[in-house]
């Protein structure tokens, strides 16, 4: 179609693997014969947003489908998103009036419940967010823990915010929705001593109690890998006090050294650290965050060849295993060890912006080796730069 040659930009749609359609009137064009050259150009698209005030009152209008979807895909939280939104909205209204977030006292919680019910009544009257009846138990939990900040959720929402900041450059489409996340099922069953101890773990104690914090401190953990995931994990371990108690310990091993290509994502490392041991450097930075961290580091590959070091006594002494490795062979070996010694395992991995995590508990969940991952579509550059361990890695290294 030679008539297309003089047109610089044409919008396309219905894009498939080998074809697409043009959004243009081609009735006066000649017949299309075959082939031709096209260049795919991304054109800037203006994106409009509601104000925060409008969106707080009517969050459903910010989404494409006009609803608030729960993050939980098992559907046990159906309808909870609206309850959470009213609870959060009521908590912010308390802060606007009192100049502070509510404490976990009956007086403060009663005020937040009153605010949430008032917002719900206003929503029914003005066709905005509303529920049949406000769930006071959800409001109490949201308001009662609103002064607390715990490292796991801070890291998760920090990741959301960081990705949205990157999208501001115009390369990706920003999110236009609310994300309400709760993990109420992780709270202790029954009464717990939540009296603060005037220590760095008081926020966790206010949520989970002193007994849980004591258990966390006395856990003996073994983490394999200190790369991008390992840096995040060892930071979390230090900040939450895992293995920082009188009987706790953390052991970290990684047989790799820091390279310049690691610095963009392995955030504990800096330019002067290049050439140093990943495990030793990461744990030194974590210990600077929390001097109580009882950590031992190795530069040893975990495999059948190193079972003289990581022997029966070593595995028997552990309470918890964390996998942060970058190849299937190591994952399967650690998984077999955890099955044999009946140890809980946190298994995880990343590839670009994709990630997975799996919590494996002996006799309660399937093991990592019970299912098979689909073949990887690409290979992490860190693997190519450090230890190519399969034929296709070497081919990709040569191509690069």
Residue 176: phi, psi to the nearest 5? -125, 75
Question: How crowded is the C-beta side of 64, counted as CA atoms within 13 Å?
Answer: 4
pLDDT beyond 60 at 69:
no
Q: Is 382 a catalytic residue?
A: yes
Q: What's the average model confidence in pLDDT over 105-128?
A: 94
Report the candidate in 305, 297, 355 with the shortest Cα–Cα distance to residue 326: 355
In which band, very low, low, confident or very high, does the pLDDT at 374 lie, cut at 50, 70 and 90?
low
Q: Cα(208)–Cα(197) distance, rounded to whole angstroms? A: 13
CB within 8 A of 194, min separation 6: which ones? Answer: 104, 205, 206, 207, 209, 210
End-to-end Cα separation, the chain, in angstroms? 38
For residue 277, the 8-state DSSP code is B
Q: Which of 231, 244, 283, 382 is catalytic?
A: 382
In which band, very low, low, confident or very high, does the pLDDT at 67 lie, cut at 50, 70 and 90?
low
Q: Cα(307)–Cα(341) distance, rounded to whole angstroms? A: 14
Write the pLDDT tens digit of every residue in 243-275.
Answer: 999 999 999 999 999 999 899 889 999 999 999
Contact 182, 139 (CB under 8 A): no
Long-range contacts of 49-58 (CB under 8 A, 24+ apart): 49/176, 55/178, 56/89, 56/92, 57/122, 57/123, 57/126, 57/128, 57/129, 58/128, 58/129
Predicted confidence at residue 281, as pLDDT, reads 97
Contact 235, 289 (CB under 8 A): yes
Place of tokens 């959301």: 160
Predicted confidence at residue 264, as pLDDT, reads 87
Neighbours of 21 (CB within 10 A): 11
Q: Which of 1-15, 61-75, 281-295 has the lowest mean pLDDT?
A: 61-75
Q: What is the assigned CATH class of domain 218-399?
A: alpha beta
Q: Cα(249)–Cα(220) distance, rounded to whole angstroms? A: 5
Distance of CA 263 to the CA centre of its chain: 20
In which band, very low, low, confident or very high, does the pLDDT at 349 lie, cut at 50, 70 and 90?
confident
Residue 367: phi, psi to the nearest 5? -85, 165
Residue 106: phi, psi to the nearest 5? -60, -40
Contact 277, 297 (CB under 8 A): yes
Continuous segment of H or E residues that includes residue 297: strand 295-298
Q: Cα(162)–Cα(170) distance, rounded to whole angstroms? A: 14
Place of tokens 């610095």: 263
Give me the percent of the chain exceeding a pLDDT of 90: 57
* Cβ-count burial 137-155 (b if 16+ within 10 Å, e if not): ebbbbbbbbbebebbeeee
Neighbours of 296 (CB within 10 A): 12
Predicted confidence at residue 197, as pLDDT, reads 94
Structural tokens at position 81: 């998103």
In which band, very low, low, confident or very high, does the pLDDT at 381 lie, cut at 50, 70 and 90?
low
Q: What's the average model confidence in pLDDT over 27-39?
A: 85
Whether pTM exceeds 0.95: no
Q: Which of 48-52, 290-294, 310-314, 317-321 has the lowest mean pLDDT?
A: 48-52
In which band, very low, low, confident or very high, does the pLDDT at 33 lie, cut at 50, 70 and 90?
confident
Q: What's the average model confidence in pLDDT over 93-101?
A: 96
In which band, very low, low, confident or very high, does the pLDDT at 386 lie, cut at 50, 70 and 90?
low
Predicted confidence at residue 385, as pLDDT, reads 61
Contact 150, 204 (CB under 8 A): yes
Structural tokens at position 133: 């009846």
Write the pLDDT tens digit of every residue in 191-200.
Answer: 899 999 999 9
- Comparing 301 with 373, the larger pLDDT belongs to 301
In which band, very low, low, confident or very high, does the pLDDT at 76 lie, cut at 50, 70 and 90?
low
- Comparing 190 with 116, the larger pLDDT belongs to 116
Write the pLDDT tens digit of every residue in 198-212.
Answer: 999 999 999 999 999
Contact 266, 274 (CB under 8 A): no
Contact 254, 277 (CB under 8 A): yes
Neighbours of 104 (CB within 10 A): 17
Q: Which of 217-221, 304-308, 309-313, 350-354 has the lowest mean pLDDT?
A: 350-354
């Amino acid at each position: 179609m030679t008539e297309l040659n003089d047109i610089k930009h044409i919008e396309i749609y219905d894009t498939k693997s080998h074809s697409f359609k043009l959004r243009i009137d081609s009735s006066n064009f000649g017949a299309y014969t075959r082939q031709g050259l096209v260049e795919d150009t991304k054109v800037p698209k203006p994106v409009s947003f509601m104000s925060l005030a409008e969106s707080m009152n009517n969050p459903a209008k910010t989404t494409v489908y006009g609803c608030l979807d729960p993050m939980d895909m098992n559907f046990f939280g159906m309808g909870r998103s609206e309850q959470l939104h009213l609870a959060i909205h009521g908590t912010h209204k308390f802060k606007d009036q009192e100049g502070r977030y509510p404490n976990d006292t009956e007086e403060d919680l009663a005020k937040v419940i009153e605010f949430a019910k008032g917002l719900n009544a206003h929503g029914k009257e003005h066709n905005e967010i509303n529920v049949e009846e406000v769930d006071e138990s959800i409001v109490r939990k949201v308001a009662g823990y609103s002064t607390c900040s715990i490292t796991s959720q801070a890291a998760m929402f920090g990741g959301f915010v960081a990705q949205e900041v990157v999208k501001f450059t115009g390369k990706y489409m920003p999110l236009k929705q609310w994300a309400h996340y709760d993990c109420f099922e992780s709270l202790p069953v029954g009464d717990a001593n939540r009296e603060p101890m005037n220590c760095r773990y008081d926020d966790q104690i206010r949520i989970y109690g002193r007994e849980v914090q004591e258990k966390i401190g006395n856990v003996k953990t073994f983490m394999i890998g200190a790369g991008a995931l390992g840096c995040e994990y060892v930071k979390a371990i230090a900040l939450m006090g895992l293995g920082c108690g009188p009987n706790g310990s953390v052991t970290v091993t990684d047989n790799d050294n820091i390279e310049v290509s690691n610095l963009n994502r392995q955030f504990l490392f800096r330019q002067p650290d290049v050439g140093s041991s990943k495990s030793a450097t990461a744990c030194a930075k974590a210990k600077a965050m929390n001097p109580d961290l009882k950590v031992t580091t190795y530069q040893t590959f975990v495999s059948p060849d190193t079972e003289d070091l990581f022997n029966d006594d070593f595995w028997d002494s552990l309470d918890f295993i964390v996998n942060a490795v970058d190849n299937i062979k190591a994952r399967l070996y650690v998984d077999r060890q955890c099955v044999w010694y009946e140890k809980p395992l946190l298994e995880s991995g990343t590839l670009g912006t994709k990630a997975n995590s799996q919590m494996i508990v002996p006799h309660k969940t399937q093991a990592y080796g019970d299912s098979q991952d689909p073949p990887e579509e690409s290979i992490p550059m860190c693997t190519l730069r450090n230890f190519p361990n399969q034929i296709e890695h070497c081919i990709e290294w040569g191509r690069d």
